[in-house]
């Protein structure tokens, strides 16, 4: 696991965008795994700037997102589909038909999860999977638990996550209690993992990520089993 410590959120975002841009230039039909949350927004905007400047091209890029609330209408401004359109897809020359987010409005969510995994497998999996991290150590919506799930699945959200994510909703009562998320196995299929971590509130979880243990109590620690991981963090997260 390679750790890059940056002075600021802006530097972290630029470093992440530079890694993705360099890889995209090598492979026009790039498969990009994406995450939501406030952490990667700066990096997505930096990628959009590079696209606008003609440095990178999204026309043949395919994306797969980690997760989506359930149930939620994709048009709802709190849905992860809406978030991705606003923060990346509407800002670059990507074909929306090539962008994939689990379907929060599926009548049969279990079937939607299976179909998502099957379609994702056909791409050969992400060349780079972007990850943020929940302050309780979740990735995607793989919450701390006695056991973790391998494939894409329906999951309940913990009180801590509902509380953390309530800042985007009118109140905690409006945060959906469930989600569709890639499983740990799906996430680890990516060829490379790029995790971004910023802010003091992530210091404790970053510390757990940097020790020599893996535990389902901190799902993100499973990325230590992957052979190509870059963690880019800011000094606040690193030093606390």
The closest of 129, 147, 141 to 165, measured between CA atoms, is: 141
Min dist. Cβ of residue 181 to ligand GLP (A): 7
224: Cβ contacts below 8 Å, ≥ 6 apart: 1, 209, 214
Min dist. Cβ of residue 28 to ligand GLP (A): 27
170: Cβ contacts below 8 Å, ≥ 6 apart: none
Q: Is there binding between residue 206 and ligand GLP (CB under 6 A)? A: no
Q: Is there binding between residue 67 and ligand GLP (CB under 6 A)? A: yes
Give the nearer residue to ligand GLP in terms of CB position, either 33 or 58.
Answer: 33
What beta strand segments (E) does the chain contain? 2-6, 31-34, 62-65, 67-70, 99-100, 128-131, 153-156, 178-181, 193-197, 229-234
Is-catalytic flag, 143? yes
Give the nearer residue to ligand GLP in terms of CB position, either 161 or 186.
Answer: 161
Confirm if 137 and 213 have CB atoms less than 8 A apart.
no
Give the nearer residue to ligand GLP in terms of CB position, either 67 or 117.
Answer: 67
Q: Is there binding between residue 6 and ligand GLP (CB under 6 A)? A: no
Task: Please give the Cα distance from 142 to 66 (Å, whole number).
Answer: 10
Q: Indicate which single residue of 19, 94, 133, 184 sits in contact with ligand GLP (rule: CB under 6 A).
A: 133
Q: Is there binding between residue 136 and ligand GLP (CB under 6 A)? A: no
Which residues are designated catalytic?
67, 136, 138, 143
Interface residues with ligand GLP (CB under 6 A) are 35-39, 66-67, 132-134, 140-141, 161, 165
């Amino acid at each position: 696991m390679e750790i890059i410590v940056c002075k600021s959120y802006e530097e972290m975002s630029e470093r992440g965008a530079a890694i993705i841009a360099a890889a995209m230039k090598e492979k026009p039909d790039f498969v990009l795994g994406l995450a939501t949350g406030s952490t990667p927004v700066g990096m997505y905007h930096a990628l959009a700037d590079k696209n606008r400047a003609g440095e990178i091209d999204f026309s043949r890029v395919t994306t797969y997102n980690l997760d989506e609330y359930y149930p939620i209408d994709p048009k709802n401004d709190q849905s992860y589909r809406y978030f991705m359109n606003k923060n990346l897809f509407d800002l670059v020359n990507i074909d929306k038909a090539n962008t994939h987010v689990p379907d929060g409005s599926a009548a049969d969510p279990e079937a939607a999860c299976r179909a998502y995994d099957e379609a994702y497998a056909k791409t050969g999996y992400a060349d780079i999977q972007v990850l943020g991290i929940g302050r309780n150590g979740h990735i995607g919506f793989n919450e701390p638990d006695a056991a973790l799930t391998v494939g894409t699945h329906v999951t309940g959200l913990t009180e801590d996550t509902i509380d953390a994510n309530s800042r985007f909703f009118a109140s905690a009562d409006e945060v959906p209690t469930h989600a569709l998320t890639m499983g740990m196995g799906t996430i680890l299929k990516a060829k490379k993992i790029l995790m971004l971590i910023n802010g003091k509130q992530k210091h404790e979880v970053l510390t757990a990520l940097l020790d020599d243990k893996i535990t389902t109590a901190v799902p993100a620690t499973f990325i230590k089993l992957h052979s190509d991981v870059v963690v880019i963090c800011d000094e606040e997260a690193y030093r606390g």
